[in-house]
Amino acid sequence: MSLIRTFIAVDIPPRLQAVIQEHTDRLRKSIGTSLVRWVPSQNIHLTLKFLGDVSPANIDILTQMLRTEADSCPAFDIRLSGLGSFPSLKRPRVIYIGIQAPAELEAFQHGIESAAAKLGYESESRGFSPHLTVGRVRQEISASDLQKIRQALEELQVDSLGTARVDSVKLYKSDLKPGGAVYTQLFSAPLQTQ
C-alpha cells in the first residue's frame, strides 16, 4: 500500500485565481521559468497544514478530525493583498500574495495543527503566516539572478486583489509530476454558517 502525499487547505475561488494570474503575469514574464517554478493559477490555495506522506488507512481519521475542527469554526472572509517573498526580499525562496484575515483563521489553523499533532503528525516549527504561494525560486541560482528576481519584486506593486469567503476546508492529495504538482480533493468539510 503506497503512501499518499497530503495537505489541508482552503480553496481560493477561480475568479480570484484569475486576478492573481493577471497581476503576476508581468512578474512571470520578466523573471521567466528558468529561475522560478511558477504555480499554475488553478493550483493557488491557502495551505493550513502540510501532512506529508500519509497511509491510506489514516485518511478516514483525518477526515473525522477535519469535520470536528470545521464544525467549531464559523465561516469568515480573507482579503488578498500585497506581494512578498520568504524568507526575505534579499534572499527570496518563495514568492507569495499576502492575506489579511480575521483572528478566526489563525484559531482555525491552530486547531488543525493541534489536532494533527495529537494524531502523530509533526508540528510546524515556524509560526503560521497565511499566504498564497505563486512561485518557488529554483535552487543553485547565481547572485545576479537573485538580484534580477529581487528587482522584479520591488518594481511590482500589488494592492488589494479582492475578498474570498472561507466556508470550507479541504484535504488534498498531491501527486508530483514532471509538469508540476497535480492536486486531487479527497475530502471537504463545511464551516459553520450563520
Q: What is this structure's pTM?
A: 0.92
3-state helix, strand, coil in the chain (%, to 5): 35, 40, 25
Contact 101, 78 (CB under 8 A): yes
Q: What would the mean pLDDT of 164-189 be, rounded to a whole number?
A: 93
Cell numbers standing for residue 164:
474570498
Q: Which residues have a Cβ under 8 Å from the Cβ of 128 and sit 6 or more positions away?
A: 106, 109, 110, 113
Share of the chain above pLDDT 70, in %: 99
How many domains is the chain partitioned into structurally?
1
State the chain's mean pLDDT as an integer: 93
Q: Which residues have a Cβ under 8 Å from the Cβ of 99 and sit 6 or more positions away?
A: 46, 78, 79, 80, 81, 105, 130, 131, 132
Task: Specify the higher pLDDT residue, 133 or 139.
Answer: 133
Residue-level pLDDT at 1: 63
Residue-level pLDDT at 169: 97
Element (H, E) at 151: helix 143-155
Range of the domain at 76: 4-190
CATH number, position 38: 3.90.1140.10
Task: For residue range 26-81, list pLDDT tens digits in order.
Answer: 899 999 889 999 999 999 999 999 999 999 999 999 999 999 999 999 999 999 99
Task: For residue range 148-165, list pLDDT tens digits in order.
Answer: 999 999 998 888 999 999
Q: What would the mean pLDDT of 17-32 be, rounded to a whole number?
A: 92
